[in-house]
Amino acid sequence: MFAIDINKVNFEYDVNAIVRAFYPGETVTVLTPETGIEKRSKAQGAVRMTINIVDDKEAPNPGAVIELGEQHFTWIYDAAEGKFKDGFKRFLYRTLCEVTGRKLPWGNLTGIRPTKIAYSMLESGKSDEEILEFYQREHYVSEEKAKLSIEIAKRERKLLEGVHYEGGYSLYLGIPFCPTTCLYCSFTSYPIAAHRKIVDSYIDCLIREMEYTAEAFADKILDSVYVGGGTPTTLEAEQLDRLLTRLKELFDFSMVKEFTVEAGRADSITREKLEVLKRHGISRISVNPQTMNQKTLEIIGRKASVEQVREAYALAREVGFDNINMDLILGLPGEMEEDVRYTVEEVVKLAPDSLTVHSLAIKRASRLSQWIQEHGVATLHNTDETMELAAEGAKRLGLVPYYLYRQKNMSGNFENVGYAQEGKLGLYNILIMEEMQTIVALGAGSITKKVSRQIAENGEESVLIERCENVKEIAQYIERIDEMLERKRTLFA
């Protein structure tokens, strides 16, 4: 556990994020002059770091001093470094590199999607060389990761050319039920066995949200539809059919470029459900193993066996799906390079059309946090080699990287990368990450994002993002559905 005493406010987020990146399993508490006694008392006994910042422009020597044990590190701010806070973040990063003997693949990047930098610089006419130099100079990003960001940003720009921004939108439907809750999961999901009796009521409420959206957006073009969760295929075939039938009745699908349903868990997939999805024109599905090692599946609480994954995948092909994604997670408890290598080899044999490779993220709300306390963070093993194994497997399948994002507390401080065949890139995945189009989200725990473009007097364009959330708890969502509808009416008034 780390307790960081800092004499200034408004630096907490960056300090917390960078320290956590170097110490991913540790609890990090940032204490400022405004921190209360209760929080300070909980930090007693922690490893202490003191940061003293002098950022007053009129001060003779603005900069910072970091004290960690017997070690002292000093930085004097130079205006040539740009903004004070950016210079401080680079100083903190260099200090932790020296203390730990490590460099992070993504350097000191916090709170920003790596590809967003490359995307905006490409839009402004910068060359690959200029963008690469910026990543390395300003953020200490490795050459490999910087080049990956540029490659993906170029692919995103091309794919997004046909998206309707002002005149269009995308639609998300959340199905918050799962066969079981996985060890690492922090999403809104509920075991289906305990909630069967309210599923039909939940669908009724989803349909009410759909009816509102269809009316409110009647003059807009629908670009993509994504049904996620949870696990949508925990619904019975008849329930899926009822939901999708009403969806197709309400919305004009003539311009929809992508219609995705996360089939997800193999133990929820049947021929009858797949035939329902196929009949309603779903163009893309996911069959997600996460790992092909049976022992790991048992540890993380996924009841579907490796053989069930193979059978579900084969069944989806047999029914006629030609755009199937598979998700993998690297850094799962106990898995080493040989385990990842085996998973990749088995997935290559199946030959999915896209592959999403996640680095395990340690979420406070997941059971994984408790598991780490009992077994130790050293059991989570993700390395450059495991990431390369996955990338090589994708390359052998003819898949190219097309979207990328990072989360807090990721194993190995790596990233999540989506790979796909050209022509089968996941549009919604890019839209949700880049926040360039309004996404109307329906269902418990979902978050609607309204994206507006504004032109300033000097002609510069800016993007305004406004959100409204649905309550997470299913019973509350059903009981308060009128309130959820009113939240959307207010947002889009």
CB 399 within 8 A of CB 420: yes
Domain match, 273 and 397 both: yes
CB 3 within 8 A of CB 49: yes
Residue 484 lies in a domain: no
Structural domain range at position 26: 1-102
Domain match, 91 and 109 both: no
Task: Look at residue 184 in the predicted model and tell me its pLDDT.
Answer: 65
CB 90 within 8 A of CB 108: yes
Domain match, 117 and 217 both: no
Residue 61 lies in a domain: yes
Domain match, 167 and 133 both: no
Summarised one tens digit per residue, pLDDT across range 102-156 is 999 999 998 778 899 999 999 999 999 999 999 999 999 999 999 999 999 999 9
Domain match, 294 and 430 both: yes
Poorest-pLDDT segment among 190-204, 436-450, 471-485: 190-204
Q: What's the CATH code of the domain at 57?
A: 3.40.50
Mean per-residue pLDDT, 197-208: 97
CB 72 within 8 A of CB 372: no
Q: List C-alpha distances in Å: 295 to 131, 207, 372, 388, 441.
A: 43, 40, 17, 23, 36
Domain match, 322 and 402 both: yes
Which two structure tokens, joined as six digits, stand for 28?
Answer: 């990090």
Q: How confident is the model at residue 315 (pLDDT cuts 50, 70, 90)?
A: very high
Task: Look at residue 187 in the predicted model and tell me its pLDDT.
Answer: 60
Residue 463 lies in a domain: no
Which two structure tokens, joined as six digits, stand for 156?
Answer: 């995103």
CA distance 285 to 326: 9
Mean per-residue pLDDT, 406-422: 84
Q: What one-character-per-residue DSSP string does 430-462 give?
A: HHHHHT-S-EEEESTT-EEEEEEEEE-TTS-EE
Q: What is the mean pLDDT of the chain?
A: 91
DSSP 290: B
Domain termination site, one of 442, 467, 483: 442
Task: Look at residue 212 in the predicted model and tell me its pLDDT.
Answer: 98
Q: How confident is the model at residue 484 (pLDDT cuts 50, 70, 90)?
A: very high
Residue 473 lies in a domain: no
> SS3 for 233?
helix
pLDDT at 363 over 70: no
Task: Look at residue 442 in the predicted model and tell me its pLDDT.
Answer: 98
Q: How confident is the model at residue 414 (pLDDT cuts 50, 70, 90)?
A: confident
Task: Look at residue 285 in the predicted model and tell me its pLDDT.
Answer: 97
Q: How confident is the model at residue 455 (pLDDT cuts 50, 70, 90)?
A: confident
DSSP 44: T
If one counts every other C-beta atom within 10 angstroms of the C-beta of residue 78, the result is 10
Domain match, 98 and 109 both: no
Domain match, 92 and 185 both: no
User: How many independent structural domains does the chain possess?
Assistant: 3
- Round to the nearest angstrom and report the end-to-end CA distance of the chain: 47
Q: What's the CATH code of the domain at 319?
A: 3.80.30.20
Domain match, 372 and 409 both: yes
Q: How confident is the model at residue 383 (pLDDT cuts 50, 70, 90)?
A: confident
CA distance 92 to 20: 12
> SS3 for 280?
coil
Residue 479 lies in a domain: no
Residue 483 lies in a domain: no
Mean per-residue pLDDT, 383-407: 94
Residue 286 lies in a domain: yes
Domain match, 98 and 121 both: no
pLDDT at 369 over 70: no
Report the side by side order of strands in the sheet with 2-6: 28-31, 2-6, 47-54, 63-68, 71-76
Residue 476 lies in a domain: no
CA distance 165 to 53: 43
Domain match, 128 and 54 both: no
Task: Look at residue 412 in the predicted model and tell me its pLDDT.
Answer: 67
Domain match, 168 and 144 both: no
- Percent of the chain predicted with pLDDT > 90: 73
Check residue 111 and give left, alpha or beta (phi > 0: left; psi -120 to 50: alpha): left
pLDDT at 471 over 80: yes
pTM, two decimals, is 0.89
Q: List C-alpha distances in Å: 133 to 83, 126, 127, 137, 490.
A: 18, 11, 10, 6, 44
Short-list 99, 71, 110, 152, CA closest to 408: 110
